[in-house]
Amino acid sequence: MSKPSTNQLDFDVVKRYLLLTLNYWYIILIGLAIGYSISYYKVRYLVPQFKVDSRIIVKDEYSSWGQEYFLPGMELVSSRNRLINEIGIIKSFSMMKQVVNQLPDLRTTYLDIGNIKTTELYQTSPFTITIIKAENENKFTKQCFIKLTPKGFHLSFEKDFEPTEANLKPYQKPFEVDGFTLGLTMNGRFKKEYESKNYAFYINPTDFLAKKYQNNIVIDVENKESSILVLSLTGNHVKKEIDVLNKVAEVYIKYGLEEGNKIANNTILFVDEQLKDVYDSLVIAEYRLKGFKNESNTERIDLEGERVIPQLTELEKKKLDLEFTKLFYQQTIDYIKNNDDAEGIIVPFFINRASSLYDMMINLINNYSERESIKLSITKQNEKWDKINHDIFIQKQILINNMKSLMEKEQNDIKIIDNQIQLLNSKLNQLPEAERQYIILQRDYTINNSLYTFLLQKRSEAAIAEASNIPKAKVLDAATEYRSQYVGEKSGDIYTKNILTFLFIALGIIFILDLINNKIISRSELEKITQIPVIGEVGHNDYDNNLVLLNNPKSVISESFRTIRANIGYLIKGKEKICIMLSSSVSGEGKTFCSMNLATSYSLLDKKTVLIGADLRKPKIFDDFNLNNNMGLTNYLVHKNTIEDIIQPTAHQNLFVITSGPIPPNPSELLASEEMDNLIEKLKTLFDVIIIDTPPTGLVSDALMLAKHADVNIYVVRQNYTRKGYLRLINEYYEKKDIDHLGIVINDITVKKFGYGYGYGYGYGYGYGYGYGGGYYEDKKSNKNSFFSKIFNR
C-alpha cells in the first residue's frame, strides 16, 4: 500500500482536529456563552473612561524682571527655567494641594446607587454637603447612604436600610459623621423622583486628592523643538477632569508670577527699612543745619574749607555704603544661621549680577524653592530629599564664609576711610569754630540727602520691575469637553476579547481532553503507533440486530464487510479455502460482531462457511443465530460429541456455526489440544471458509494458540474504546512475525468522532480500489450531506 503524501497527511490532521472540535461542540458553545455573558455584563455596567488635555507654552528661557530694568548693580533674579523643572513643579504635591483647595466640589463624592451600577454625580447631585467643621481634614468618612424625602433625609451607614423616624434628619440642620460636622441642603426644589432613588456620599481627604491627581496627571513635551507642555488627565467624569486640568494651569501660572515677584518684593522691603533710617538721619541733619544757620548766620566758607568738604563728603558716602553692605552681610548671616528657609534671604541691588556671591545666593534660594515643592510628595528618607538638604547645608556654609570674608574686607576699607577722614578733619580743626561746625553739619546733610535720593530711585526701579513682570507660561488650549476623548474599552473590543478568550479556553480544554485521551480516535492516529496494515473500517451499528449484512444488505456497514472480504482476498492471493481468525485486545471491541458479519459475507458468495465460537469463556454467537449452546466446541474437545453433532446450520444458506458450548474449567488447555488441531483440519476439508472468533489477546493466550491455523489474522480495534497501549503486544507479535498475514479492522466508527468516516469516498485497496459510495447504499438513518461533510469529504 502506497503511503499518503505529506499534503494529504497535513490535510487529514487538520480535518481530524476540526471534526474533533465539532464532536465537542457543546464545550465550544459553553465557552462562547460564557464569553458573551461576561461581555454583556461588562458592557452593560461599564464605567466609561475619558481623557482630557490642555496645552501650555512655557518660556524656555526668560527673566522674571525683563532684560535690564535696573541700573548697574541693581539687577535682580533672572534664571533659565528648563521644561523638566516646570514639569516637576506642576506635578508637585504642594501645587496639587492648592488645586484641590480651590475646587471644593472635589472634597465630597456623590453617588447614585443603582441595583448593580453606581454612578458618580459631579455637580449634578440633587443635594450639597457642606463641611462646617472637621477634626481632621486628612481623613475619609464612611460612605453615607441617603434617602431623600420632602421633609428631610434618612441617613445610614448601611446600604439596604429602612427609613425610620430615628434616622430622619431635617435639611440644613448640622449632623455628625466621623469627626465631621456637616450640613445637607437641596439644590433647587424637591422632585418626586428623588424618593425612589438611593444616594450616597463620602468626604475625601485633601492630601489624598492631591496625591491622587499628582499621580494621575500626565505631562508630556509636545516635541523636542518646542517648549509646549501637554497636560492630560483620565477619569470617569469629563467635567471633573476638565475643572482639575484648567485649575492646574491657573495655579501654575499664578505660582510663576509669585515666584517672579518674590525677590523684587523682598528687595523693596529691604530698601523701605533702610529708607526709614536714612530719612530720620536726613531730617535731623537738616534740622541741625537750619538751626546753626539761624543762630550764627554763617554760610561763608573759606577756600580751604571748600576744598576739604567735597573730599569729606565723598569719603563719608563711601564709608556709609561699606557699613550698609556690612550690615546686610551680618543680617543675612544671622538669618541663615537661625532659619532653614529662603523667606528672609534678599539679593540686594548692590551685588553685581556677575559675581560669585550673586550665584551663591540664587542657588540657595532655588534649592529652598525646590525643596519646598517636593517636600510633601516624597518621604523624608528619600535619596532626592537627602541630596537637596545636603546641597543646602553646603551652600549655606560656603555663603556664610564668603560673606564673612567680604565683611572683613569691608571693615579694612572702613579703617582706611576713617584714617583719611581723620586727616581731613585735622585740617578742618584749623578753621574757625563757627565755620568748622557749619562744614560738618552741611556735610552730614549732603550725605544723607544723596543716600536718600539714591534709595528712592532704586525702590522706584524695583516697583517698575515688579509691575512689568509677566507670566512665564500661557495657556494655548484650555481643557474643554470638545477636546475630550473616550479611552475606555470599546464594547466591540470587550466582546471580541472575551469571546475569543473563552473560545481559546474551550479549544484548550478540547485539546487537553484529546491529549489525556489514551484511546484510539482516528485511523491516522492508529497508523502512527503501528505498522500493521488496516484492511477495513466498520461503522457504528444503529440497527437493532448484529447480523447487519443479512438483514440490511445495502447498508454502508454491509459494504464495509464486502471491502474487508476483498482486501483479505488480496492478502491470500487467490487461495480457495481459507481460515480467518479474529481477535482483539479486550472484550467489547466488536470482535464477535465482525466475525458474524464477515462469515455472512463469505456465505453470500456461495462459499460454504463455518463460524467457530472459540471464546470459551464468554460464549455469544448462539444468541444472534437463535441456536442452542448446550452442545458446541467444548463438547467436541472433551470427546463428548462428534464433529457432525457440533456443526449447526443456520437459517441462511451456506452458513454454519459451531457454538462455544458449556464453559469449561480449562479453556486454554482445550484450545491448545490435539483435538483442536484435528478439528480445524477436518473443517478445512468440509468448508471453503473457516472464521474463528477467539478470546481477546490482551487477556489470555488462547488466540495465539489458534493463530497457527489461520491464513489471515484480523485484529479488531474499536474507535474511542481500544487503548493505545493495548497495541504494544500485537505490535510485538507482528514485528517478530509470530502471526502471519496480520491486519487490523477498525470497528464502530462514528463519523463525527473519527475525523473521517467510511461511506464517504475512501477506498481500501491493496490494488482493488473498493470504495464506499454515497447514494447507492441504504442506511437506517438519512445520510444527507451537511455543510461540513461537503467540505471534509471532497
Q: Does an H or E element contain 251, and which?
A: helix 238-296
Residue whose grid cell is 425612589: 196
pLDDT over threshold 70, residue 10:
no
CATH 3.40.50.300 matches 523-792:
yes
H-only helix segments in 6-82: 6-23, 25-44
Domain spans in the chain, listed from the N-terminal domain onward = 6-46+489-516, 54-251, 259-474, 523-792
Residue whose grid cell is 505631562: 219
Nearest of 747, 451, 740, 782 to residue 580 by alpha carbon: 740
How far is 655 from 605, CA to CA, in rounded Å?
Answer: 11
What's the pLDDT at 322? 83
Q: Please write the tens of the pLDDT for every residue from 636-657.
A: 999 999 999 999 999 889 999 9
Name residue 696's amino acid.
P
* Higher-scoring residue by pLDDT: 9, 162: 162
Nearest of 317, 321, 350 to residue 447 by alpha carbon: 317
What's the pLDDT at 100? 92
The DSSP string of 475-539 is EEE---GGG-EE-S--HHHHHHHHHHHHHHHHHHHHHHHHHH--B---HHHHHHH--SPEEEEEE
How far is 578 from 309, CA to CA, in rounded Å?
Answer: 154
Q: Please write the tens of the pLDDT for every residue from 359-406.
A: 888 788 878 877 776 665 566 667 778 888 888 888 889 988 998 998
The DSSP string of 414-463 is HHHHHHHHHHHHHHHTTS-HHHHHHHHHHHHHHHHHHHHHHHHHHHHHHH
Nearest of 103, 232, 126, 226 to residue 184 by alpha carbon: 126
What's the pLDDT at 353? 65
Q: Please write the tens of the pLDDT for every residue from 56-94.
A: 888 754 333 333 333 333 333 333 345 777 888 888 888
* Higher-scoring residue by pLDDT: 751, 228: 228
Q: Are 609 and 657 spatial neighbours (Cβ–Cβ below 8 Å)?
A: no
Nearest of 684, 480, 516 to residue 50 by alpha carbon: 480
Q: What's the whole-number average pLDDT of the chain?
A: 79
What's the pLDDT at 524? 80
Please measure the distance between the N-terminal and C-terminal CA atoms of the chain and give it in whole angstroms.
22
Hey, what's the cell of 695? 478470546
* Higher-scoring residue by pLDDT: 559, 517: 559
Nearest of 328, 332, 330, 324 to residue 281 by alpha carbon: 324
- What are the backbone angles phi and psi of residue 139, rounded to the nearest 5°? -145, 135
* Higher-scoring residue by pLDDT: 228, 574: 228
Q: How many CB atoms are closer than 10 A to CB 405? A: 12
Q: For the purposes of burial, counting CB atoms within 10 Å of the CB of 528, is it exposed (0-12), middle (13-18) or buried (19 or more)? A: exposed
How far is 285 from 280, CA to CA, in rounded Å?
Answer: 9
Please tell me the number of Cα atoms within 13 Å of 382 on its side-chain side: 12
* Higher-scoring residue by pLDDT: 672, 317: 672
